[in-house]
């Protein structure tokens, strides 16, 4: 438990910075929506609809009525999810890999605490966590995490542009909880909820298995 609180203290500055920028994004969204409404939302909507479908997909505007506050904030939600995903994935990765990068793993491992206990104290997110656990080179795991995250994000935009590629939805978590699909039904897709839980559980098991048995780079 002491290790858990130490990690919270170590990353409190990072959490504050990311939280501040998320709050700033929400505030900017509120101001933009007020400007759109005051200047005639229908005219703004016509301009947006005249944009190529590719641009609409990039900005997350497909199937949304920007004159409605809920639909408008679905666009803001897209960028919030991206920011939170980047922070969460990199946090999950760095909190494990930093012990090898900073050469503190040897000091930590000689303490009367098991590797499983160490991992449990550091478990925040799953994808970044498992990549840090299975990667033999701590410096590369962060790059792999970021590449995978951005690839799945761009895949979600490509799916919006090319509906025939919707079969690839399962490969991008950004489509699991897509605001454009949640708003019309006011509910989550239970299939994707269950899939997310299963994938998280599998990644945790893989992370524990690999980290407990591999030689650390110290």
Range 206-213 average pLDDT: 77
Percent of the chain with pLDDT over 90: 1
Q: What are the Cα distances from residue 117, in Å, to 64, 94, 108, 153, 218? A: 46, 17, 11, 33, 19
Q: What confidence tens digit (pLDDT) does each residue in 1-60 have?
A: 566 677 777 778 888 888 898 888 888 888 877 877 776 666 667 777 676 777 777 666
Instruction: Tell me the range of 45-49, 77-81, 92-96, 119-123 where mean pLDDT is highest.
Output: 77-81
Q: What are the Cα distances from residue 83, in Å, to 79, 103, 164? A: 6, 29, 28
Q: What confidence tens digit (pLDDT) does each residue in 133-154 have?
A: 777 776 677 788 888 888 988 8
Range 183-198 average pLDDT: 86
The closest of 95, 198, 189, 180 to 138, measured between CA atoms, is 95
Report pTM: 0.77
Q: What is the per-residue pLDDT for 194? A: 92
Residue 216 clears pLDDT 80, i.e. is over it: no
């Amino acid at each position: 438990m002491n290790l858990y609180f130490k990690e919270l203290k170590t990353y409190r500055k990072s959490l504050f910075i990311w939280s501040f920028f998320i709050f700033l994004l929400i505030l900017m969204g509120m101001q933009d929506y007020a400007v759109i409404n005051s200047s005639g939302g229908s005219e703004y909507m016509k301009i947006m609809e005249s944009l190529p479908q590719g641009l609409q997909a990039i900005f997350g505007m497909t199937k949304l009525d920007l004159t409605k506050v809920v639909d408008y904030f679905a666009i803001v939600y897209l960028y919030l999810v991206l920011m939170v995903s980047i922070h969460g994935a990199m946090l999950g990765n760095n909190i494990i890999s930093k012990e090898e990068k900073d050469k503190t793993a040897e000091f930590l491992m000689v303490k009367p605490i098991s590797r499983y206990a160490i991992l449990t104290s550091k478990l925040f997110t799953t994808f970044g966590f498992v990549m840090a656990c299975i990667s033999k080179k701590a410096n590369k795991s962060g790059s792999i995490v970021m590449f995978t995250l951005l690839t799945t994000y761009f895949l979600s935009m490509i799916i919006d542009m090319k509906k025939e590629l919707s079969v690839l939805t399962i490969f991008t978590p950004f489509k699991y909880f897509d605001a454009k699909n949640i708003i019309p039904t006011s509910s989550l897709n239970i299939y994707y909820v269950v899939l997310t839980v299963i994938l998280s559980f599998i990644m945790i098991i893989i992370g524990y298995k690999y980290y407990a048995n591999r030689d650390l780079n110290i």
